[in-house]
Amino acid sequence: MPTYGALAEFKTPADLYVACERVRDAGYTRWDAHSPFPVHGLDGAMGIRRSKLPWIVLVLALGGAATGFALQTWVHMSAYPLTISGKPFFAWPAFVPITFELGVLGGALGAVFGMFGLNQLPRHNHPLFESARFARFSDDAFFISIEAADPKFDSNQTTRLLAGVGASHVELVEDPA
C-alpha cells in the first residue's frame, strides 16, 4: 500500500503551535494540524493564506442580485408587460426585495458549497483514520500530518523533523485506497 504521509502527536496546544511554526519554516505546503478546539493564532503559525471563500461569496451574491434584477426587468418589460397598481413597467423599487433575496441566496449558497468544495467535502473516509491514535484528535490529543504528496516529503527526513520539533509519537500512515 502507498504511504499517505507522516503523522505526529503532541501533548499540548503550545507544543503543537511551536511545531507548526517549524514545519511551516521547513517549507512544507501539503500538511495540516488537528486539534480538538480552535487554537488562537494557529493559522499564522501554519502560514495559512487567506481563504478564497469571500471571493466566491461576493461573486455569487452579486451574480444572484443581478439575476434577480434582470429576471424581473425582462418579465415586466417584455415577457408580461402588465400595468400593476398604476406603476410603470420598469418599477425598479418593486424589484429590490427579490434582487436582495436572490443576492442573499447566491451568497449563502456560495458560502456553504464553496466551503464544502474548498475543504474537499463530503468524503466517506480519510487515510488518517487508519491510525488508531488519530481517533483522539477530537478528544485530548494534537496532531500534525504531512502528506507524502508534498514535494519536500521524504519518509526519513520528515519523520525526523517531526520527532525533532517536540512530537511525542511519530508514525507513517498508509493509504488504503
Q: Considering only the stretches 68-76, 86-94, 118-126, 151-159, report the one whose residues sit in contact with other proteins under the rule CB under 8 A.
A: 86-94
- Local structure of residue 86 (DSSP, 8 states): T
In Å, how far are 43, 69, 121, 123 from 56, measured between CA atoms?
Answer: 21, 20, 16, 21
- Identify which range of 24-32, 90-98, 125-133, 157-165 contacts other proteins by CB under 8 A: 90-98
Measure the CA–CA gap between 167 and 65, rounded to whole angstroms. 50
Residue from the set 86, 121, 125, 140 that interacts with other proteins by CB under 8 A: 86
How distant, in Å, are the alpha carbons of 60, 66, 69, 92 from that of 102?
Answer: 10, 8, 9, 15
Of 2-10, 36-44, 69-77, 161-169, which part binds other proteins (CB under 8 A)? 36-44
Residue 93 Cβ, how far from other proteins at the closest point, in Å? 5
Give the nearest distance from C-beta 114 to other proteins in angstroms: 16
- Rank residues 64 and 127 by Cβ distance to other proteins and give the closer one: 64
Q: How many CA atoms lie within 13 A of 22 on its CB side?
A: 16
**58 binds other proteins per the rule CB under 8 A:** yes
Q: Where are the alpha helices (DSSP H) in the chain?
A: 13-25, 42-46, 53-74, 92-118, 155-164
C-alpha cell at 91: 418599477
Determine the interface stretch with other proteins among 43-51, 70-78, 141-149, 166-174 (rule: CB under 8 A): 43-51
Query: Residue numbers of the site for other proteins (CB under 8 A)?
Result: 14, 17, 38-41, 44-45, 50, 54, 58, 85-87, 93-94, 96-97
